Chain A
Amino acid sequence: MSVLQMQRISICALKKDRKPILEKLQSMGIMEISLSLEEDKDFQKMDTMNARMSFEKAAAAADQALDILESYAPVKKSMLSALEGKALVEKAVYQKVTDQKEELLKTANRLYALDKEKAELKANILKLENQIESLKPWLALDVPMNLAGTKKTALLLGTMPGPAGVEDIFRILAEKASKIEGADVQIIASEPDTVYLAVLCMKTDVREVEEALRSAGFAKPAQVWENQPAKEKVYLENQIREIKGRISEIEKEIKGEAAVREKLKILSDYYRVRAEKYEVLGQIPQTGRTFVISGYVPKQNAQEVEQFLSVNYDCVVDVEDLKEGEEMPILLKNNPFSASVEGIVESYGLPHKGEIDPTTIMSFFYVFFFGMMLSDAAYGAIVAAACFIVLKRFPRMGAGMKKSLRLFMYCGISTLVWGILFGGYFGNIVDIVSEKFFGHTVTVPALWFVPLNDPMKLLVYSMLFGVIHLFVGLGIKGYMCLRDGKVMDFFCDVVLWFMLLTGLILMLLPSDIFASIAQTQIVFPAAVNTLAKVLAIAGAVGIVLMSGRSSKNPGVRIALGAYDLYNVTGWLSDALSYSRLLALGLATGVIASVINQMGSMMPNNIFGIIGFVVIFIVGHLLNLAINLLGAYVHTNRLQFVEFFGKFYEGGGRPFNPFKTNTKYTDIKEETLT
């Protein structure tokens, strides 16, 4: 239930033990490296940049090869495979893979090269296909396209904007180049807006003819081939076929390497871990014979580490408490139940220096409120069972995922309990089914009461739970003030508020407004009524006088105090915010009833029953999903805004130990020996 106390551990050891010590620390994974030593002429840091870069590059190459394998020979994955977590690898297998790392890296690089070649070949095919496309109009031409002509004649090939016929072209020639001896025009192909022509004329006339044609939009082809177009096409097609053959060869070759996948995963992790080790190695100061390493270790593990190192190596290990004002990294430690909400606290922010860990207290409220918002016994049972099965089925899933699922399992159980208290089982399914199929209505009685019949009662209880939640929050603030010895703050910011609020609540309870809400008149003895007034007035006066105590100017001080008193509206809105406990619970129940009602409109025969079942399953799945989301979001909100608003800031730095940070596999290894 707390933030783990950290200690600073400093190790000075011989350089020859550098590798084993670092590796040991990495595999233990309980030390965050943090060096306060500056470089000087005795202590120097090693430049490991290059080594690290090459390891990172190798890890990236393995990752890339894995991606390539995945795209060529995908492994079938089930929907739940994301829950499986990292595979556990035997140390021996790991050793074997690292022994052949050079070879594997070569394979990885070859896979990359093959993939790249394939991409290039594909680009080539595209180029060739484009060529064929531009060749197509010329297919009818039965001479090579780069033929200049014969001894006396010249051949002009080109396009003109269409539509144009042979007569049009002769007319152009007659108009613009009347002096020429003669020319032969042939239309090779004709498209709606372009005509492809071959013009044969005397060599002496060629310039005149060309100019005449150009004035009408004649242009030479962009690409000229040495062969006859038809032959060229065959040639190009053959080339494409060859390239395609090569591509399928490449695909086959890559698929053939699919078996190396597992090894590549291990390889990638191996290089990743080494890169991390070298990063640390680059940070530690070293002399000719020795090196120093220093960092944070949880207090409970410090002894262990110290003992292990000093027994096994020649070194000096120094463990000391943190200096005053040193910000320690935060690692939370909670009982298994409360640990499941650590993820929620983390998403808000870890406790900063001096704050207490709110996880334990929050966990009870969290599960309590979540159940109240979903409040359907059947939904709760489904959620709890689903989470339980997944947890059992995939024991190796990631720690964060495991915590969330466990949290949802507890929330499901709480929902089950609230559902029984409120008599909700898929909304009102029991009533509907018994009425429709068996003729008489059976209602499962609620253990407590049915919110739909008595919403005001639940509203009052929601507010009550809210006020308890908020008071606990304020109480924690008080505890922190006392712990830090700030008695004045404790009295002014906590006790006075408690007095004011308790007084106000006690004044509200016997009033007519409350009586009309709760439908019962509460009568206090006169002494309590007086006490309520005294508490409220004393609290209010105290707050006005004391809240602005940091200010010397009495006028400003009173003004600040009065402004702080205005916060009473904040408390009111905080308490009202808990009405969502009622609203969301109602939403689940009523929408479930709507679904049941829709189902019951089906006729009472076999098709009707099938229709009923379909509506039931689809409808309740949707309702469960959307209300689960709602309950999650709004429980978070109640914790983050209302509860944390009273005492918690967050913003601590998470503990980031030096460890074997793998991506695909976990290596089975002996822990501390």
Chain B
Amino acid sequence: MSIMSELGIVYALLGAAVAVLFAGAGSAIGVGIAGQAAAGVVTEDPSKFAKVLIIQLLPGTQGLYGLLVGFITLSNIGILGGDIAQIDVKTGLLILAACLPIGIVGLLSGIAQGKTAAASIGIVAKKPDQFGKAMLFPAMVETYAILALLISFLAVSGIKIQ
């Protein structure tokens, strides 16, 4: 048996890595962008700390979605239990493909949501009473991360592993 045909588990793990890696990176960048804006507001008015912190956290969810898909993948392929399943190349690649949506959408939407969150923090700085509306703009971006999560999740949990 050639080494190529044993790579299934590697592809599967690569899938989990892609989900966690890119989505996590997206969130890290997004939260970072929003955090810079938040820190600026707090230097001027420390009493707005709680409000801007909440908005700063909004782009953080993509990382969690990536973690979710990564975790489901790991537990499906048996890496968590120490009882690694036999996975052929096709299944491995299927799992990798299933992980791509949340990885890529998580990365891009995390960054975009971070920018929107930074702008929303600007709203809170000038009109603190409009907090409810300010929170909504970043949430609009997140919808697409949720849709990607859904497809990744359904695909990963739908792939049958012998």
Residues of A within 8 A of B84 (CB): none
Q: Mark B89-126, 1 if CB is under 8 A from A, else 0.
A: 00000000000000000000000000000000000000
B146 at the binding interface (Cβ < 8 Å): yes
Q: How many residues of A contact B (CB 8 A)?
A: 30
B71 touches A587 (CB 8 A): no
User: Please, which residue of chain B has its CB at the minimum distance from the CB of A632?
Assistant: B135
* Chain B neighbourhood of A452, CB < 8 A: 157
Q: Is B67 in contact with chain A by the CB < 8 A criterion?
A: yes
**Bound Cα distance A586, B150 (Å):** 10
Contact string, B64-82, partner A, CB cutoff 8 A, digits 1/0?
A: 1101100110000000100
In the complex, chain A residues 605-630 whose Cβ is within 8 Å of any chain B Cβ: 626, 629-630
Inter-chain contact A587/B64, CB cutoff 8 Å: yes
The verdict on A464 contacting chain B, using a C-beta distance below 8 Å, is no
Q: Which residues of A contact B54 (CB under 8 A)?
A: 629
Pair A637/B150 contact, Cβ less than 8 Å: no
Give the contacting residue for B135; candidates A579, A594, A597, A636; CB below 8 A: A636
A348 close to chain B: CB less than 8 A: yes
Query: Are A577 and B64 in contact (CB-based, < 8 A)?
Result: no
Encode A168-211 as 1/0 by CB contact (under 8 A) with B: 00000000000000000000000000000000000000000000
Interface size on B (CB < 8 Å)? 29
Taking a contact as CB atoms under 8 Å apart, the answer to whether B61 and A626 are in contact is yes
A583 touches B132 (CB 8 A): no
A633-B68 CB under 8 A given contacts A455-B153, A583-B146:
no
Q: Tell which of B1-9, B10-18, B36-44, B136-144 binds the partner.
A: B136-144
Interface centre among B64, B72, B130, B147 (most CB of A within 10 A): B64
A590 sits at the interface (CB 8 A): yes
* Interface residue A591 (Cβ < 8 Å from any Cβ of B): yes
In the complex, the answer to whether A348 meets B67 with C-beta atoms within 8 Å is no
A33 to B135, CA, bound (A): 34
Contacts known (A597-B80, A633-B135, A640-B136); A586 close to B68, Cβ less than 8 A: yes
Residues of B within 8 A of A553 (CB): none
Is B147 in contact with A576, judged by CB distance below 8 angstroms?
yes
CB-defined contacts of A587 to chain B, threshold 8 Å: 61, 64-65, 68, 149
Q: Is the CB of A633 within 8 A of B139?
A: yes
* A586 partner residues in chain B, CB cutoff 8 A: 68, 153
Pick from B133, B136, B142, B154: contact of A455, CB below 8 A: B154
Report B-chain residues with C-beta under 8 Å of the C-beta of A577.
143
A591 and B146 contacting across the interface, CB-CB below 8 Å: no
A576 to chain B: closest residue by CB: B147
At the interface, yes or no: B26 with Cβ under 8 Å from chain A?
Answer: no
Residue A277 CB within 8 A of the other chain: no
Contacts of A634 on B, CB cut-off 8 Å?
139, 142
Which chain A residues numbered 492 to 525 have a C-beta less than 8 Å away from chain B?
A: none
For B33, the chain A residues whose CB sits under 8 A away are none
Which residues of A have CB within 8 Å of B132? 344, 347-348, 636
How many angstroms from the CA of A435 to the CA of B146 in the assembled complex?
Answer: 33
- CB closest chain-A residue, reference B80: A597
A635-659 interface (Cβ within 8 A of B):
636-637, 640-641
Q: A347-B133, A576-B147, A587-B68 are in contact. Are A637 and B139 (CB under 8 A)?
A: yes
Contact of A626 among B57, B147, B149 (CB under 8 A): B57
Are B143 and A580 in contact, CB atoms less than 8 angstroms apart? yes
Q: How far is the CA of A576 from the CA of B150 in the complex (A)?
A: 11
A594 and B67 within 8 A (CB): yes
Residue A294 at the chain B interface, CB threshold 8 Å: no
Q: How far is the CA of A65 from the CA of B79 in the complex (A)?
A: 65
Assuming the A-B contacts A579-B150, A590-B72, A637-B139, are A626 and B64 also in contact, with contact meaning beta carbons closer than 8 angstroms in the complex? Answer: yes
Q: How far is the CA of A323 from the CA of B80 in the complex (A)?
A: 72
* CA distance in complex: A634, B140 (Å): 9
Chain B residues lying within 8 Å of A344, measured Cβ to Cβ, are 132
A456 vs B154: C-alpha distance in the bound complex, in angstroms?
A: 8
Nearest-Cβ distance from residue A151 to partner chain B, whole angstroms: 64
9 intermolecular pairs with C-beta atoms under 8 Å apart: A347-B133, A577-B143, A590-B68, A591-B71, A626-B60, A626-B61, A629-B54, A629-B58, A637-B140
Report which A residues bind B (CB closer than 8 A). 344, 347-348, 452, 455-456, 459, 576-577, 579-580, 582-584, 586-587, 590-591, 593-594, 597, 626, 629-630, 633-634, 636-637, 640-641
16 more contacts with CB within 8 A, not counting A576-B147, A583-B149, A587-B65, are: A347-B132, A348-B132, A455-B154, A582-B150, A583-B65, A583-B146, A587-B68, A590-B72, A591-B68, A593-B71, A629-B54, A629-B57, A633-B135, A636-B139, A637-B140, A641-B136
Interface residues of B (CB under 8 A from A): 54, 57-58, 60-61, 64-65, 67-68, 71-72, 80, 130-133, 135-136, 139-140, 142-143, 146-147, 149-150, 153-154, 157
